[in-house]
Amino acid sequence: MTSSQHSPELHALSRKTSYACITLIVWCLFWETVGAPLQHAGYWLALKGFLLLPLLPKLWRGERYTYQVLSLLILLYVLEGLLRTFSDTAPSRYFAVIELLLSTLIFIWVNQFALKTKAAKPQREKKNRKMSWLLYAIILLIAMNLTLPSTHSSLIGAEDANYIHFKTALEWLTAALVIPYVSLIVFYRFKTTESTSDRS
């Protein structure tokens, strides 16, 4: 279903969400390049804004599956905003607060849109989609961990407290997602094997 087939309320909601995503992209780019970039991270973190770019045309058209994808992806921005609001110092903290507010607003609007356009879908299809996008988030976090310098690197000094807090929290967040994901995979694999053996 596209925006031309939606009610005026859903049409307005898709426009608000699209504009908020564009604002968040611009804000992230400005923050990590000019506003208050983290030392030693280079401009790598500025690329996080581009993650939302491929979704914009479909968000504008009001495609429901894209809103479901964004409802998971936007949580990365919510988590980063929350983390850096408390770990960073000014002025980076102020940028993090705005990111947190914007991403939370997008999360609310995205879920409103998804709920208002909800249609019955097979339970297995829902699980597969959620698992695939959780894997996408984990791969992204692992890539960030591998690319950014370690907190034990000779490049990092005691004065880089913001970066040390951010990198440490990023490592914990990655572990917190990887362990449940692997556990779920093992659980579903066991359940599938068990149900197959029962049928035979």
Number of domains in the chain: 1
Q: Which residue has the higher pLDDT, 136 or 108?
A: 108
Q: Which residue has the higher pLDDT, 111 or 153?
A: 111
With bands split at pLDDT 50, 70 and 90, how would you rate the model's confidence at 68?
Answer: confident
- What mean pLDDT do residues 119-127 have? 51
pTM: 0.61
With bands split at pLDDT 50, 70 and 90, how would you rate the model's confidence at 73?
Answer: confident
**Euclidean distance between CA atoms 136 and 126, whole angstroms:** 16
- What mean pLDDT do residues 135-144 have? 66
In the prediction, which pLDDT does 22 show?
95
**Euclidean distance between CA atoms 142 and 102, whole angstroms:** 25
Quote the domain boundaries for residue 83: 3-199
In the prediction, which pLDDT does 11 show?
86
- What mean pLDDT do residues 127-153 have? 62
- Quick one: three-class SS letters along 73-126? HHHHHHHHHHHHHHHCCCCHHHHHHHHHHHHHHHHHHHHHHHHHCCCCCCHHHH
Q: Residue 122 above 60 pLDDT?
A: no
Q: Are 167 and 38 in contact (CB under 8 A)?
A: no
In the prediction, which pLDDT does 125 show?
46
- What mean pLDDT do residues 19-32 have? 92
- What mean pLDDT do residues 24-38 have? 87
pLDDT tens digits, one per residue of 163-180: 677 777 777 777 777 776
**Euclidean distance between CA atoms 85 and 55, whole angstroms:** 26
